[in-house]
Structure 1
C-alpha cells in the first residue's frame, strides 16, 4: 500500500497508524504536541524547540514524547505542516484573484512564523494541510484549459515565490547587521556603495542603472509593491499560458470541423457521381 511507504511521522499525521486496543489511553496527541512546539518557536525561534522544552510545555517527561514522535526532525515536519491555516475557499473567485490571495497568504504565514524558513523546502508536499492548499489551487484553475501537470507547475511556482519573497523580507529586516561597518542601512545606501565599487567597463548595464538612481530614494529594502510586481509578473505568465491553450484548443476544433466538412463533401460528391 502507498501509505506503507510514508515515514512513520507522516503515517501518524494522516492517522494511518493502528490504535492499540490494550494499555492506558494516551495522554497526548500529535496536535497538542505540535501546537506546543509552534508556540515555543514563535516565542524563541527554532533554537528554543527541543524534545525537553516541548515536553515541559505539555507537562510530561521528554521520554514520553517518543511514544508519539521519533525525533526532533519529525517534530519539525509536523510543525511545518500544522502552521498552515485552512486555505481560502476558491468558490466564486476568478482564478487570478484567488491565486493572488493564495500566494499572499502563504507569504504572510511564513513572515508570521519565520522559523519555518530554515526547515521549508521545495519538495512535493505530503502533509494533509499543505496538500489542502494544493487542492484549492487545482480547484481555482479548473476550467482554464490547463492540464494537471501545468496546474501543479503553476502552484509550485507561486508557492516558491511566496517562500522566496518571505525570505527576502525577513533577511532584509534582520540581516543588515552583517553590513553595519559599511553603513548600509537601506537600499539607497546600498546603491551609493555600488556606485563606488562597480567598474562600468565590467558591469556596464548594472553600473548605468545604479548611477541613474535605480536605488535612489528607496526608503526600505523591500516594499509590498515589489511583492505585487513579482506576483503580477507570474500571473501574467499564467494568463498568457491559458490564452495559448484556449487558442490551441480553438484551432484544433476548427481543424476537426474542417476535416469533418471535407469528409462530408467527399461523401456527398460520391453519392452524386454514383447517381
Structure 2
C-alpha cells in the first residue's frame, strides 16, 4: 500500500514522528493559519513560502519540514479555511442539500481566493471530506446508487462555485457612469449589444431579466437555479422508486 502524501498524513495526524533530530517548533495549523491570514488580506498572490515564513518569524527552509511545496500548503489551506458543513437534523434530503449548497456558496464567496484553489483541489482533508460525507449521507435511502450520489454532490458543489464566482465578479464590475455590480454590468451590456446580433440577450435586457436582488445571499437567481437542480434530483429519485 502506498504511503499517504506527507501533507495529507499531517492533516489527519497520521504522520510517523521520528525520534531522531531536533524537535519541531511549529505545527501545520500555525502555518496554514498564517497563510490564510495573508490570503484574506492580500489574495492568493501574496501567499508565498517566504511571506508565510516571515509572518511566523522563521526561515523559509523551516517550512519545508511541514509542507514540501506550495501546492501542499494550498491543499492544507483549503481544508483549514472551510467551516464545518451544516448538520442535517430533521431536514429532508432536499432541504439539507439546499442548505448544504447555500452554505458552500457562502463560504467560498466570503474568501474569494478559495475560488482559485478549491475547485482544483480534490477533498482530502478532514473538513472538506466531511462536506462530501454529509451530502452523500443525506441521499442515503433515496434509492440512488452511490455513484449517482457522488455525481449529484459534484454537480451541486460546481453550482456553488459558479454562483460564488459570479457574485465575486459582479461585485467588481463598474461602468463609466459609476454603477457597480450587476447594475454596472447590465448598463455595459446595454451599450454593447443590439437586436440584430444578439436578439435573445437584447430581449432579456429589455425585460429586466438582469435585475438585482436586495440581498445576494437570498438571490432569486441562485434559488431558481438550485430549484432546477433539486427538481431534477427529485425526479431521478422518483424514477428509481418507480423502477
* Shorter-chain TM-score range: 0.7 to 0.9
> Which one of the candidate residues 40, 43, 46 is aligned to 1:45?
43
Q: Which moved more, 1:41-50 or 1:104-113?
A: 41-50
Structure label with greater radius of gyration: 1
Q: Output the CA distance in 1 between the equivalents of 2:183 and 2:19.
A: 66
State the match for 1:260 in structure 2: none
State the match for 1:258 in structure 2: none
Q: Deviation of residue 61 (structure 1)? A: 1.8
Q: Output the CA distance in 2 between the equivalents of 1:183 and 1:238.
A: 42
Name the CA shift for 1:192/1:113 in 2 (closer, same or farther; >3 Å): closer
State the match for 1:205 in structure 2: 200
Cα-to-partner distance string for 1:131-175 (whole Å, 9 max, x where unaligned) = 11111111111111111011001111111111111110011112x
> Which one of the candidate residues 67, 70, 86 is aligned to 1:72?
70
Q: Output the CA distance in 1 between the equivalents of 2:29 and 2:181.
A: 41
Q: Deviation of residue 211 (structure 1)? A: 3.1
Q: Deviation of residue 122 (structure 1)? A: 5.0
| TM value normalised by structure 2 | 0.87
Verify: 1:157 aligned to 2:155, yes or no: yes
Name the CA shift for 1:28/1:233 in 2 (closer, same or farther; >3 Å): same
Residue aligned with 2:141, SS: coil
| TM value normalised by structure 1 | 0.78
Cα-to-partner distance string for 1:204-243 (whole Å, 9 max, x where unaligned) = 333333334434x647896622221111111111111111
Q: Deviation of residue 199 (structure 1)? A: 4.1
Q: Deviation of residue 16 (structure 1)? A: 3.5
State the match for 2:219 in structure 1: 224
Total equivalences in the alignment: 242
Residue aligned with 2:116, SS: coil
Q: Deviation of residue 58 (structure 1)? A: 2.4
Root-mean-square deviation (CA), in Å?
A: 2.5
Work out whether residues 187 and 219 of structure 1, in 8 Å CA contact, stay in contact via their aligned partners in 2.
no
Name the CA shift for 1:186/1:104 in 2 (closer, same or farther; >3 Å): closer
The aligned runs of 1:131-170 (5 Å cut-off) are 131-170=129-168
Work out whether residues 28 and 66 of structure 2, in 8 Å CA contact, stay in contact via their aligned partners in 1.
yes
The aligned runs of 1:1-275 (5 Å cut-off) are 1=1, 3-4=2-3, 6-121=4-119, 124-174=122-172, 176-177=173-174, 180-181=175-176, 185=180, 187-188=182-183, 190-191=185-186, 193-195=188-190, 197-215=192-210, 218=212, 224-248=219-243
Q: Which moved more, 1:140-149 or 1:200-209?
A: 200-209
Residue aligned with 1:38, SS: helix
Q: Deviation of residue 19 (structure 1)? A: 0.7
Work out whether residues 171 and 181 of structure 2, in 8 Å CA contact, stay in contact via their aligned partners in 1.
no
Work out whether residues 138 and 152 of structure 1, in 8 Å CA contact, stay in contact via their aligned partners in 2.
yes
Structure 2 portions without partners, runs of 5+: none
Cα-to-partner distance string for 1:25-51 (whole Å, 9 max, x where unaligned) = 211111111111111211222232222
Name the CA shift for 1:226/1:209 in 2 (closer, same or farther; >3 Å): closer
Q: Output the CA distance in 2 between the equivalents of 1:24 and 1:196.
A: 65
Q: Deviation of residue 99 (structure 1)? A: 0.9
